[in-house]
């Protein structure tokens, strides 16, 4: 078990932030609200409306599980660039409540969506990951261990028939496995908003934000391959009052009520944005060759993401941060990214490709992560675009797009701090833990 406090990576001179130990919580899910309750609650929140969302309820063990010293849950993240298995181990606390004690994580590439033309082979890639769980979970507990797979933007971007066939193969695999698989919906494409909400639950669960009314809450920024999410609990009413329709969610956790600002932008994940930026390039000498100011003029190659056709690309004499930034802004403009107001005091946790590219730019430690400003990210992007990187030819493009998303999209200033973490207390920062808590709830 982890120690009682954990120091989060920080910049020199920054105050220590202490994360509580792995925590025990009761989490109650949203219930369908009546019209009367809805009207009363929106009046309390100055007539801000919320959409119903499904979140974890009681995290008590089922009668069969309650006699076990450890309880396990298996969650697959079928992302656009890779498939990941999370095996969570919980122990039974007071009153039968769950306490997270460990996580096993492993990733394989390419992602499940890459097997659109061969669903059986896609299922086999998941099977190889599933076999790793047999070394983690004792055999006598397999039948009590729930297993699920949630696909994200990669499968959302596929034709419906292709994604359906892939999911059917995975369902068949889980049904034939020794693990607990009772609902077909446990293998499905996750809604983008749920992806953001589950990630928010994961981060605040691990940092103790859900423990009591006076606990500090953290916002989350998740940058995947196909989509990106922003989720936070506002401290000012104007954040929700000025949010577009569909950006407001309401949930109840451990009897606490959380009005959330959250949205998922499909098509603005890093790989999807890279594709759009390259496609917007000018025509080169060849009809199918695209010239991009985001690519060094010595580079020539091809790029493919998802179901998009391969793009032949070549560097441009205009190579540099300014030209690349303009192309990134044009892509963002098509999505009309909303700039939330009144969120300056909320500490934001950024992960996934935010973390990876910050490491690539040398801004944070690979293992510990760190806290940086948006301005530092911008300086890193400018530096990346002033040189040629033979090992990372897309680093200029990727880092410039991230700066554009943060500043032009979300409206963050250069002074805005971001905490970049890959793990908190040894647990991978993603939506997987939040989704697993929801999975346990469905078994009760």
Q: Find residue 90's DSSP bridge partners.
A: 71, 100
168 versus 192: the higher-pLDDT residue is 168
pLDDT value at residue 256: 75
**Is 196 marked as binding a ligand?**
no
175 is in an annotated binding site: no
Architecture in CATH of 192-426? 2-Layer Sandwich (3.30)
Contact (Cβ atoms closer than 8 angstroms) between residue 146 and residue 73 = yes
Q: What's the rounded Cα separation, in Å, for the pair 121 and 225?
A: 21
CA 417 remoteness from chain centre: 19
Q: Where in the chain is the domain with CATH 3.30.420.150?
A: 192-426
pLDDT at 286: 53
Q: Which residue has the higher pLDDT, 330 or 153?
A: 330
Predicted local distance difference test score (pLDDT) of residue 134: 95
pLDDT at 64: 55
Tens of pLDDT, residue by residue over 261-316, are 999 999 999 999 999 999 988 876 656 789 999 999 999 999 988 777 888 998 88
Residues 72-90, mean pLDDT to the nearest whole number: 94
**Could you tell me how many residues make up the chain?**
444
- Give me the mean pLDDT over the 181-195 stretch: 91
Q: Determine the 3-state secondary structure of 290 from DSSP.
A: strand
Taking the CA atoms of residue 19, residue 22, residue 25 and residue 29 in that order, the dihedral angle to the nearest 10 degrees is 80
Q: Could you confirm whether 195 is annotated as catalytic?
A: yes
DSSP symbol at 409 = I
* Whether pLDDT at 151 is above 90: yes
Per CATH, domain 53-190 is 3.40.1050.10: no
The whole model's pTM is what? 0.80
Residue 226 annotated as part of some ligand binding site: yes
264 annotated as ligand-binding: no
* Residue 132 CB contacts under 8 Å (≥ 6 apart), including other chains: 85, 87, 104, 106
Predicted local distance difference test score (pLDDT) of residue 96: 58
pLDDT for 315: 86
Q: Are 51 and 393 in contact (CB under 8 A)?
A: no
Q: Does 336 count as an annotated binding residue?
A: no
Which of the residues 99, 103, 169, 195 is marked catalytic?
Answer: 195
**Please, where in the chain does CATH 3.30.420.40 lie?**
53-190
- pLDDT-based confidence at 209, cuts 50/70/90? confident
């Amino acid at each position: 078990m982890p120690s009682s406090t954990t120091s989060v990576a920080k910049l020199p001179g920054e105050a220590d932030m202490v994360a509580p130990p792995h925590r025990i919580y009761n989490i109650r899910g949203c219930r369908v609200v009546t019209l009367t309750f809805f009207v009363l609650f929106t009046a309390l929140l100055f007539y801000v409306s919320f959409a119903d969302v499904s979140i974890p309820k009681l995290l008590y063990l089922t009668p069969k599980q309650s006699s076990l010293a450890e309880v396990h849950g298996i969650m697959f993240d079928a992302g656009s660039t890779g498939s990941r298995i999370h095996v969570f181990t919980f122990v039974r606390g007071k009153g039968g409540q769950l306490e997270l004690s460990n996580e096993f994580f492993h990733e394989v590439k390419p992602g499940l969506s890459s097997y659109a033309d061969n669903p059986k082979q896609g299922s086999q890639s998941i099977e190889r990951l599933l076999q790793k769980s047999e070394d983690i979970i004792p055999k006598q507990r397999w039948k009590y261990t729930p297993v699920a797979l949630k696909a994200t933007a990669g499968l959302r971007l596929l034709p419906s028939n292709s994604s359906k066939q892939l999911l059917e193969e995975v369902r068949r695999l889980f049904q034939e496995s020794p693990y607990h698989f009772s609902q077909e919906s446990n293998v499905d494409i996750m809604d983008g908003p749920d992806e953001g909400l589950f990630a928010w639950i994961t981060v605040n669960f691990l940092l103790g934000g859900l423990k009591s009314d006076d606990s500090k809450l953290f916002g989350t920024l998740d940058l995947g391959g196909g989509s990106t999410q922003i989720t936070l609990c506002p401290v000012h009413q104007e954040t929700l009052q000025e949010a577009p329709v569909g950006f407001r969610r309401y949930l109840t956790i451990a009897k606490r009520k959380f009005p959330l600002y959250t949205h998922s932008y499909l098509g603005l994940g890093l790989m999807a944005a890279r594709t759009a930026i390259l496609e917007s390039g000018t025509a080169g000498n060849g009809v199918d060759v695209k010239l991009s100011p985001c690519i060094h003029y010595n580079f020539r190659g091809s790029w493919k993401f998802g179901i998009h056709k391969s793009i032949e690309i070549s560097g441009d004499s205009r190579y540099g941060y300014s030209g690349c930034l303009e192309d990134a802004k044009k892509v963002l403009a098509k999505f009309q990214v909303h700039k939330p107001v009144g969120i300056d005091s909320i500490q934001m946790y950024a992960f996934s490709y935010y973390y990876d590219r910050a490491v690539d730019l040398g801004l944070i430690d690979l293992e510990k992560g760190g806290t940086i400003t948006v301005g530092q990210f911008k300086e890193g992007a400018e530096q990346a675009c002033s040189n040629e990187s033979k090992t990372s030819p897309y680093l200029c493009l990727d880092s410039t797009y991230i700066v554009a998303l943060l500043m032009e999209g979300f409206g963050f200033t250069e002074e805005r701090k971001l905490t970049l973490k890959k793990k908190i207390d040894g647990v991978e920062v993603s939506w997987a833990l939040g989704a697993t808590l929801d999975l346990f709830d469905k078994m009760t």
